[in-house]
Amino acid sequence: MSIDVEILIETYTILKEYVPAKERQAASDNLVSMLADTLSEKELKEFGSTDSYTKRSIEEYLDDEEDDLDYEE
């Protein structure tokens, strides 16, 4: 099953209005962590263009992945 990124963006945009502003970054971080198992890097980056929360979550996730790869080498 493939998830359409546009549907994810619309869903996230609607639901974030129900999350208190101080909790939005943590919510975005958790969502990105879950989506990373399903989406390609390109799709993650597309999702990351949704807002500042998702952008930061994607940047941190990809930085952590690079750090993990560097550590493994």
Contact 9, 50 (CB under 8 A): yes
Statement: residue 70 has pLDDT above 80: no
* Main-chain dihedrals φ then ψ at residue 20, nearest 5 degrees: -55, 145
Tally Cβ neighbours within 10 Å of residue 15. 11
Q: pTM of this prediction?
A: 0.83
The predicted pLDDT at position 65 comes to 74
Question: Residue 15 corresponds to which amino acid?
Answer: L
User: Which pLDDT tens digit goes with each residue over 9-44?
Assistant: 999 999 999 999 999 999 999 999 999 999 999 999
The predicted pLDDT at position 64 comes to 79
Statement: residue 2 has pLDDT above 80: no
Q: Which positions ≥6 away from 61 have C-beta within 8 Å?
A: 29, 32, 33, 36, 44
DSSP E strands in the chain: the ranges are: none
